[in-house]
């Protein structure tokens, strides 16, 4: 606890004044003017460090990564100096600039667009529960100074024949990037920390513990090399873009020559890694045993939050939305039941594709396969070699998105069938070979997608034990997705059976369309339940008993 | 006696010829509107109706003749579709004049409503489909009289400016609207979720950067002639190549025609049908 020199009351960092401030006498102090060797008293018993509150002597409850917290007994803000020792001391800090009122306003603005969010989340009492936490970030700096030898190729037509003219291009380069930031806490999801970025390093100040007074703070539990490849990749790719913008090398076709990649050629001559503390506001919303949270950038005010969806609200709003759509459809030419069934089947396929993509994201998030920090904390595998990292990230071959191509071919094939179902089905039954060509293209695209997916997994950063084979990954994902995907698939099968059978009675077509509607509806509900499960999780910092609640 | 026997044989021969299948001579029932001179015709080629029913239908169809020719056609042809059959007969019988045809084809088991000229403005393709959808069940039950009767009643309503029941249209639109609403709602949820997913440029700190670079030397070294395989690795060339292959596979012919499209001849027309 930092004490006011005038009245000995607790000092807190005031966001509006950007100074240490005493709530009792109004005294303000420069954080750098206040030096203190240690705040919390430390005792080491049985190889365990116990922190005691400097004000009341109570034992402080904290996690291994806590750098600043509040005493559960008296509410005093306390800094755990042992956690920010020489080895783990941050180089810089961006102090909070957004206060709680601005936080609440941003949250309410975000809720306005969250039409399907539960009404409980809009309760004003709820909005009071914001916590300011300084989160650790790794700051990577790179520099390239020297000559760069590249090859270029310019395409032209000579005598009707396409040719490439080859060039050797030399550049003199002096480029540096400072403070490329990645979050250094395994409990702070990568996608959330990225969503509230960027922070502006113009407000960066040299670190002093006084800034932490009145807030929570965490230290890093992720090694600096975890994000090194991503940071270096960012530097190389953006450096290459800067070179294209600032020089005339594009004229010589640099970047078009197969085997010469500009990013791969930019090997940094200097590298530096430091730790920084950045301000983040966290809001928690508790529903039974799950917590959802919203997060705001404490400097810029950018808010993010994966708010859960109230499924009953979703169904009611969908019903309301159906009315204007119905009126709009009544203005269009009359549809026959066979056309309705074909379009419903088409929409069921579309729903299946969308849900498949969403489920892939959800599974990745659930398994944290895309969160390098969490993967690192859960494993103790060795750091991959530099050679492997460089080769895999800067392959010069351009890859087509074959999944998109497959979807486009499927769409173009189904489109005429949806408008002229009876004639199309007859033509297909008379001459099934019509479908062979698009089917073959789709299968080829699918095989290429699987191969690319396996290659991506193989060459990913994650150590070997986290890499799955193509079929193993596909199989396990399919099992996870099958309860959701089975519904539109069944609807599609029912529709195809009815279309091929081609009954006279319209009731069969209506039945098929209803099956499609139910398949889509239940599939989407399952998807939203999965989404709700992922948006609600326990945030370790907010599971603590905060002294500011009890003081 | 011999002459009497000759007369009897001639009569018997005539009657036996009349009894030969396929050579039956069917008289078409016919009437015309007193004010407009438009005709009302029942051509029961498939022999689905008896004389009483035909006469009743003629009475029901007569008010329609105020707007144009009216034709009820039954057929068992399988060598053509209903739209072509109706349009061809209209050309032969009525030329370019206003006309409406209700066709019952038991060969391909389809009923069809075809309108030409000014009548096609009141009886659109959508209306024709709706009428066919409303009455096809009678044809399925082989109650062709009721099928035709109800059809012409609805045609008459439309020509007078009244509306007809269109359950098929509203059921189809309601189901499709519900499906689209569910998908649009989910799309809104996804958009809101993805609003907070950053692009690559937002991921990182706006780091300070310093860039100073220039080309010091650029030297031409060689010319390389591109092979077919290298050309196919380029996106636009590959796309054109695949398109050429696709077009050569499918050829230039083939096409789909939907029910309800405008028919042949120079007159405007509309139509719609239903299987039974």
For residue B210, which residues of chain A lie inside 8 Å, CB to CB? 174-176
Q: What is the pLDDT of residue B180?
A: 94
- Compute and round to an integer the Cα radius of gyration of chain B: 33
Read off the pLDDT band of A369 (50, 70, 90).
Answer: low
Q: Is A334 on the interface with B (CB under 8 A)?
A: yes
- Looking up tokens 């993010």, which residue turns up? A304
Average pLDDT over every residue of A117-133: 74
Closest CA to A334 of B129, B134, B112: B129
Q: What is the pLDDT of residue B253?
A: 38
Q: Is A113 on the interface with B (CB under 8 A)?
A: yes
Least confident of A67-76, A330-339, B31-40, B83-92: A67-76
Judge if B147 and B83 occupy the same domain: yes
Quick one: how far is CA B136 from the chain centroid? 15
Average pLDDT over every residue of A420-431: 64
Judge if B46 and B142 occupy the same domain: yes
Cα A530 to Cα B189: distance, rounded to the nearest angstrom: 13
Residue A544 has pLDDT above 50, yes or no: no
Give the residue from chain B lying closest to A519, CA to CA: B179
Is B119 within the bounds of a domain? yes
Give how far B240 is from chain A: nearest CA, Å: 14
Q: What is the pLDDT of residue A63?
A: 62
Q: What is the pLDDT of residue A215?
A: 86
Judge if B136 and B184 occupy the same domain: no
Residue A5 has pLDDT above 70, yes or no: yes
Read off the pLDDT band of A419 (50, 70, 90).
Answer: low
Q: Cβ of A234 and B223 within 8 Å? A: no
Q: Is A295 on the interface with B (CB under 8 A)?
A: no
- Looking up tokens 């197969």, which residue turns up? A258
Is B13 within the bounds of a domain? no
Mean pLDDT is highest, among A119-123, A191-195, A264-268, for: A264-268
Residue A466 has pLDDT above 60, yes or no: no
Read off the pLDDT band of A186 (50, 70, 90).
Answer: confident
Q: What is the pTM of this model?
A: 0.69
Is B20 within the bounds of a domain? no
Average pLDDT over every residue of A195-211: 85
More confident residue, A541 or A120: A120
Whether this model's ipTM surpasses 0.95 comes out as no
Judge if B97 and B179 occupy the same domain: no
More confident residue, B35 or A494: A494
For residue A531, which residues of chain B lie inside 8 Å, CB to CB? 189, 193
Judge if B35 and B125 occupy the same domain: yes
Mean pLDDT of chain A: 76
pLDDT in tens, A80-102: 766 666 556 888 899 999 988 88
Cα A17 to Cα A533: distance, rounded to the nearest angstrom: 40
Taking CA A245 as the corner, what is the angle to CA A239 and CA A248, rounded to the nearest 5 degrees? Answer: 110
Average pLDDT over every residue of A72-81: 66
Judge if B200 and B260 occupy the same domain: no
For residue A319, which residues of chain B lie inside 8 Å, CB to CB? 178, 181
Is B137 within the bounds of a domain? yes
Q: Cβ of A175 and B210 within 8 Å? A: yes
Read off the pLDDT band of A333 (50, 70, 90).
Answer: confident
Is B1 within the bounds of a domain? no
Is B14 within the bounds of a domain? no
The DSSP call for residue A84 is G
Q: Cβ of B129 and A323 within 8 Å? A: no
Residue A514 has pLDDT above 90, yes or no: yes
User: Who among B140, B192, B214 is closest to A171 (CB)?
Assistant: B214
Judge if B231 and B261 occupy the same domain: no
Judge if B29 and B161 occupy the same domain: yes
Structure tokens given for A312: 């009953």
Q: Is B257 on the interface with A (CB under 8 A)?
A: yes
Least confident of A2-6, A167-171, A426-430: A426-430
Least confident of A69-83, A114-128, A273-287, A499-513: A69-83
Is B115 within the bounds of a domain? yes
Residue A327 has pLDDT above 90, yes or no: yes
Mean pLDDT is highest, among A56-65, A226-235, A505-514, for: A505-514
Is B73 within the bounds of a domain? yes
Q: How many residue contacts between A and B have a Cβ separation below 8 Å?
A: 267
Helices (H), ranges, chain B: 2-19, 51-61, 82-94, 119-122, 125-140, 144-160, 167-195, 228-232, 235-250
Taking CA A188 as the corner, what is the angle to CA A185 and CA A194, rounded to the nearest 5 degrees? Answer: 105
Judge if B177 and B193 occupy the same domain: yes
Average pLDDT over every residue of A151-177: 86
Cα B57 to Cα B31: distance, rounded to the nearest angstrom: 11
Residue range(s) defining the domain that contains residue B50: 25-166+255-275
| Average pLDDT per consecutive 10 residues, chain B (276 residues; last block may be shorter) | 64 52 52 81 90 90 91 90 90 89 93 93 92 94 94 94 91 94 89 59 60 85 76 61 62 37 58 89
Closest CA to A514 of B172, B133, B274: B172
| Structural domains of chain B, count | 2
Q: What is the pLDDT of residue A492?
A: 87
For residue B202, which residues of chain A lie inside 8 Å, CB to CB? 194, 197-198
More confident residue, B151 or A225: B151
For residue B180, which residues of chain A lie inside 8 Å, CB to CB? 322, 325, 347
Closest CA to A397 of A446, A471, A443, A452: A452
Q: Which of residues 42-61 of B touch A (CB under 8 A)?
A: none
Separation in Å, CA A255 to CA A13, A284, B224: 51, 48, 16
Cα A68 to Cα A2: distance, rounded to the nearest angstrom: 12
Residue A158 has pLDDT above 90, yes or no: no
Cα A414 to Cα B174: distance, rounded to the nearest angstrom: 22
For residue A179, which residues of chain B lie inside 8 Å, CB to CB? 205, 207-208
What's the CATH code of the domain at B98? 3.10.310.50
Cα A237 to Cα A243: distance, rounded to the nearest angstrom: 10
Judge if B113 and B229 occupy the same domain: no
Read off the pLDDT band of A427 (50, 70, 90).
Answer: low
Judge if B244 and B271 occupy the same domain: no
Q: Which of residues 148-187 of B touch A (CB under 8 A)?
A: 166, 168-186
Give how far B58 is from chain A: nearest CA, Å: 29
Cα A166 to Cα B221: distance, rounded to the nearest angstrom: 6
Cα A326 to Cα B127: distance, rounded to the nearest angstrom: 18
The DSSP call for residue A305 is E
More confident residue, A246 or A325: A325
pLDDT in tens, A496-507: 888 888 888 999
Judge if B145 and B173 occupy the same domain: no
Give the residue from chain B lying closest to A251, CA to CA: B218
Q: What is the pLDDT of residue B12?
A: 63
């Amino acid at each position: 606890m930092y004490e006011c020199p005038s009245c000995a009351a607790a000092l807190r960092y005031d966001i509006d004044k950007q100074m240490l401030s005493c709530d009792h006498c109004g005294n303000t102090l420069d954080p750098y003017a206040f030096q203190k060797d240690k705040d919390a008293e430390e005792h080491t018993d049985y190889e365990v460090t116990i922190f005691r509150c400097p004000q009341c002597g109570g034992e402080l409850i904290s996690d291994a990564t806590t750098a600043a917290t509040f005493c559960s007994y008296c509410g005093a803000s306390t800094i755990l100096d042992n956690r920010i020792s020489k080895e783990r001391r941050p180089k810089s800090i961006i102090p909070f600039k957004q206060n709680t009122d601005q936080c609440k306003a941003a949250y309410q603005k975000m809720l306005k667009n969250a039409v399907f969010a539960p009404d409980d989340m809009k309760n004003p009492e709820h909005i009071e529960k914001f916590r300011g936490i300084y989160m650790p970030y790794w700051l990577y700096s790179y520099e390239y100074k020297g000559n760069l030898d590249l090859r270029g190729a310019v395409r032209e037509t000579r005598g009707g024949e396409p040719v490439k003219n080859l060039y050797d291009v030399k550049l003199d380069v002096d480029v540096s990037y400072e403070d490329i930031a990645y979050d250094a806490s395994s409990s702070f999801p990568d996608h959330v920390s990225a969503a509230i970025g960027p922070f502006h390093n113009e407000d960066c100040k040299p670190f002093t513990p006084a800034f932490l007074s009145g807030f929570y703070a965490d230290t890093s539990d992720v090694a600096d090399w975890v994000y090194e490849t991503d940071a270096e990749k960012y530097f190389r790719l953006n450096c290459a873009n800067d070179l294209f913008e600032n020089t005339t090398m594009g004229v010589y076709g640099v970047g078009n020559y197969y085997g010469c990649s500009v990013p791969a050629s930019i090997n940094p001559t200097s590298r530096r890694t430091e730790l920084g503390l950045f301000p983040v506001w966290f809001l928690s919303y508790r529903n039974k045993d799950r917590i959802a949270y919203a997060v705001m950038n404490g400097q810029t005010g950018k808010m993010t939050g994966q708010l859960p969806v109230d499924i009953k609200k979703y169904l009611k709003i969908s019903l309301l939305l159906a009315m204007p759509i119905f009126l709009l459809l009544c203005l269009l030419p009359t549809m026959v039941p066979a056309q309705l069934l074909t379009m419903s089947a088409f929409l069921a396929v579309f729903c299946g594709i969308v849900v498949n993509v969403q489920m892939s994201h959800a599974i990745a998030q659930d398994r944290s396969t895309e969160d390098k920090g969490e993967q690192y904390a859960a494993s103790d595998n060795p750091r991959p070699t530099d050679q492997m990292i460089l080769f895999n990230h800067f392959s010069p071959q351009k890859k087509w998105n074959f999944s998109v191509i497959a979807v486009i071919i499927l769409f173009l094939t189904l489109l005429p069938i949806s408008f002229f179902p009876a004639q199309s089905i007859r033509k297909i039954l008379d001459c099934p070979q019509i479908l062979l060509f698009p089917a073959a293209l789709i299968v080829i695209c699918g095989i290429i997608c699987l191969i690319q997916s396996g290659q991506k997994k193989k060459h990913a950063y994650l150590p070997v034990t986290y890499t799955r084979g193509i079929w193993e990954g596909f199989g396990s994902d399919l099992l996870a997705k099958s309860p959701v995907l089975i519904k539109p698939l069944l609807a599609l099968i029912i529709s195809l059976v009815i279309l091929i059978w081609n009954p006279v009675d319209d009731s069969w077509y209506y039945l098929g369309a209803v099956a499609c509607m139910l398949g889509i509806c239940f599939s989407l509900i399952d998807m939203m339940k999965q989404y709700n499960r992922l948006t609600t999780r326990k945030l370790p910092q907010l599971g603590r008993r905060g002294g500011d609640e009890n003081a | 006696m011999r002459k009497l026997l000759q007369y009897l044989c001639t009569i018997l021969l005539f009657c036996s010829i009349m009894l030969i299948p396929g050579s039956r001579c069917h008289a078409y029932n016919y009437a015309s509107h007193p004010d407009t001179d438009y005709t009302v015709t029942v051509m029961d080629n498939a022999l689905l109706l008896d004389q009483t029913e035909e006469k009743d239908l003629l009475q029901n169809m007569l008010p329609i003749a105020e707007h144009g020719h009216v034709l009820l056609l039954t057929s068992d042809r399988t060598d053509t579709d209903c739209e072509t059959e109706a349009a061809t007969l209209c050309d032969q019988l009525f030329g370019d004049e206003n006309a409406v045809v209700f066709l019952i084809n038991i060969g391909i088991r389809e009923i069809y409503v075809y309108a030409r000229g000014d009548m096609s403005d009141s009886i659109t393709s959508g209306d024709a489909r709706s009428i066919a959808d409303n009455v096809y069940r009678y044809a399925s039950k082989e109650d062709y009289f009721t099928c035709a009767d109800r059809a012409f009643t609805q045609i008459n309503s439309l020509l007078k400016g009244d509306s007809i029941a269109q359950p098929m249209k509203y059921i189809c639109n309601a189901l499709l609207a519900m499906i689209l609403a569910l998908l649009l709602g989910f799309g809104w949820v996804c958009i809101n979720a993805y609003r907070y997913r950053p692009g690559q440029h937002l991921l990182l700190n706006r780091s300070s950067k310093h860039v100073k670079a220039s080309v010091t030397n650029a030297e031409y070294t060689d010319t390389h002639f591109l092979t077919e395989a290298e050309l196919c690795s380029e996106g636009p060339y590959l796309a054109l190549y695949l398109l050429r292959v696709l077009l050569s596979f499918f050829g230039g012919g083939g096409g789909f025609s939907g029910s309800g499209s405008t028919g042949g001849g120079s007159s405007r027309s509309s139509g719609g049908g239903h299987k039974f």
